[in-house]
Each structure stands twice: as C-alpha cells, then as structure tokens.
Structure 1
Amino acid sequence: MSGKNILLLAGDFVEDYEIMVPFQALQAVGHEVHAVCPERTADDTVKTAVHDFRGDQTYLETRGHDFALNATFDDIDPADYDALVVPGGRAPEYLRNYDQVIDAVQHFFEADKPVACICHGMQILAAADVVEGYGCTAYPALEYDVEEAGGTWHDGVTTDRNLVTAQAWPDHPEWLSQFLEVLGTEVSHGEPVPADD
C-alpha cells in the first residue's frame, strides 16, 4: 500500500498533543502529512497549547511548543489530498471564520474522503455544516454544538462512514487506530530483530 497525502489544519494555540502526535504517527506509517495554517507559509510556526485534565470542571491550559508548518495554505488544493485531520485546542474557534478553511473541510465531505477530528476541532466541522446525520463526539462541552449541527452525540471515539472523532488527546490510541482503518492503512507487527553486538 502506498502512503496517502493527508492535510492537517493548524493555527496558533492548536492543542499540542493533538497536532504533534497525529503529524508524527501518520508519517511513521508511511503517509505524507502537510500541516497548513491560513496567513502562514511553509517553515512558519504556530504556537501550541497543552490542555491537561486534573479534575477541574474543564481543562487547564499551558503554553506548548512552536510547531513548524511544512506547506502553505494558499498553495494547496484540497483535491490533491486523500484525507484531512482537524486537531483541537483554541485554534478552531477562529479558524472556522476563514472561508478557505470551510471550503477545504466541505471538499473532504463532498468527496467522501476520510476525516479525523478531535476535541474542539468539531467547531470547524459544525461551522462547515457537515455534521448533520453523523454520529460523532468532541470535547464533552461541545455536545450541544454537535446536536445543534444535526449530529448524534456519542461518548467515546466514534467512526461513522468517513468521519472518525474523539474527545481529547487521551483518546489518541483508539482514535488513530480507527482513522488508520478508515484510511486502509495496514500496520504489521513482525518479530523484533535483535541488534548486532
């Protein structure tokens, strides 16, 4: 199986783990991932935020890393990509106001291409008017948003047709596993090869 071309949406204060982990994990299994942000170019960076869950009524946020983009949003054509990843964090609340972001998201749904969305990334999908009729999840505080957008709320990682959704970064193992399945990615686990002495 040849690798897929995957588009990943980014913006300042995207959730650190929700962009770093899929970006690296999808490359590790042979896919090409282009991380883009409106008004930024390849080699620019976006600031990330780490959301931690410590028993409070909502998440605690701290400053994360500088994440380097590797493609320019204005130069990409969504038709050239096989799948889309939409991370969470604070970025989705303003990224959803960019027409080019909404147009890109709508392309993936109109073309029935795989989409992985986690946490507050659902704010972008809801704004793009693509959630109606899907069973999905998001950060728990967005249950109202999912239902208002016409989706059916689920409490855990959910795959419905081309859409794979998760609540937050602790869901990564199951979320990425289900996304790889939708992508048609097969990961084989051979016997470990001992290192030469």
Structure 2
Amino acid sequence: MKGHQDKVLIIVGDATETVDTLYPYIRLQEEGILPVVAGPEKRRYNMVLHEIPEKGWDITREFEGYTIQADIAFKEVRPEEYLGIFFSGGRAPEYIREDPHLIEMTRHFFDNGKPIASVCHGVEIPARADRVRGRRMACVPKCRFDLEVCGGIYSEERHCIDGNLFSGRTWHDHGQYIGPWIAMLNERRIRTAA
C-alpha cells in the first residue's frame, strides 16, 4: 500500500450513482493515487444508474448499476491519513449524511483546506456537516435547496471551483472539475512529500 499522502477517500452507500463514483475512482488510479472507498460499513454496496429519459418522465429514472466494495467503514477512517475526499452522488448521501463519523471526517477535510470534490446529491453531506456556508457549489438542481438552506451559494454553471472545493451537477460535468481537483491533489502530494 502506498504512503498515507497518496490516498483519497471516495464516500459511498447503497444507491450511490455508478458513473458519479467510477470515473473519479479510475482517474485517481491513473494518477498513482489510491482511491479508498468508504461506506457506513466495510461491505459491498449496490450502485445505481440515473438518467432523465427524453420522453415520458419528468423525473430521474433509476436502474441497477454495478456494485462496489467499501475498503473501510466510516468509523475506522483516520482523516489525517488522506490527501482529499470525493462525495459521490445518487441517493446514498440522503441516507448516510446523519452518520456522526462521516460528519466528523467531512469537517476535517474542510477545516484543513484539503482538496474536496462533490457531485450531484453529494452536496447533502457537507451541507449537513455545516461546511457550505458562504461556499459556491454546483449540484443537481433538486439539491439547490439543501445547499442554500445551509448557507451555501448555488452555482448556475455546470461545474464550480471555489478554492479547494470542486463540484459538478451530475457525472456529465466530471470532465470539467475532476481534472482541476486532481491537479490540486497532486500539488498537495508534492508539498507533503517535501
């Protein structure tokens, strides 16, 4: 296993969106960074696929996706060992955002200025942790209320970069903010290795 400065957390739960999760998971590996999947328990989680069909539906339709194994449970995470964190979307954030261990680790990343990325419903976790006040974020439009009621600023753009906080509306925006997030992770790797 690589040194602690080379690890990044990916936060998941049941009904985590597949593409939201797998794109950063693979991109981190391409950069030589170890993605560590964290969930409420150390077990396999069911992911889903979300889309809004062109005809017949006004809301998101959900399909079963792949599964993903959590490498570690939230309560076992020592956030100081990780370079950054990624909050995946799907319905999982709604259900896992009350976990006290997840809230504590989320606050660590914000409070220490570490690189943070979030997509879609992922915003519900830092919002619940009271760490979005005055911060600009992109998220799926139906989570705008969650962001704003907790003091965040909704970005009308497809993606948003606010200091160490990188966010997108859906997985369609990954190509716009994941690269800059990884660039900041790499900058931090160099600083911590020196």
The whole-number CA distance in structure 2 between the counterparts of 1:53 and 1:25 is 25
Show the counterpart of 1:29: 31
Show the counterpart of 1:82: 83
Confirm whether residue 91 of structure 1 aligns to residue 79 of structure 2. Answer: no
TM-score normalized with structure 2 length: 0.88
> Unmatched 5+ residue regions in structure 2?
188-194
Confirm whether residue 65 of structure 1 aligns to residue 63 of structure 2. Answer: no
> How many residues were matched structurally?
181
Larger Rg belongs to:
1
Q: Which amino acid aligns with 1:131?
A: V
Show the counterpart of 1:52: 51
Does the 8 Å contact 1:4/1:83 carry over to 2?
Answer: no
Q: Which amino acid aligns with 2:129?
A: A
Q: Which amino acid aligns with 2:162?
A: D
Task: Report the CA distance between 1:48 and its aligned residue.
Answer: 0.4
Show the counterpart of 1:191: none
TM-score normalized with structure 1 length: 0.86
1:43-192 equivalent positions in 2, closer than 5 A: 44-55=43-54, 56-155=57-156, 156-184=158-186
SS of residue paired to 2:102: helix
Runs of 4+ in 1 over 4 A off after TM superposition: none
% identical aligned pairs: 28
Does the 8 Å contact 2:52/2:58 carry over to 1?
Answer: no
SS of residue paired to 2:122: helix
Greater mean alpha carbon deviation, residues 47-56 or residues 98-107: 47-56
Does the 8 Å contact 2:49/2:62 carry over to 1?
Answer: yes
SS of residue paired to 2:46: strand
Does the 8 Å contact 1:137/1:146 carry over to 2?
Answer: no
Per-residue Cα deviation, 1:134-153 (whole angstroms, up to 9, x for no partner): 11111111112211111111
Q: 1:13 aligns with which of 12, 15, 18?
A: 15
**Closer/same/farther in 2, CA of residues 174 and 102 from structure 1, 3 Å limit:** same
The whole-number CA distance in structure 1 between the counterparts of 2:63 and 2:173 is 20
> Unmatched 5+ residue regions in structure 1?
186-197
Task: Report the CA distance between 1:94 and its aligned residue.
Answer: 1.1
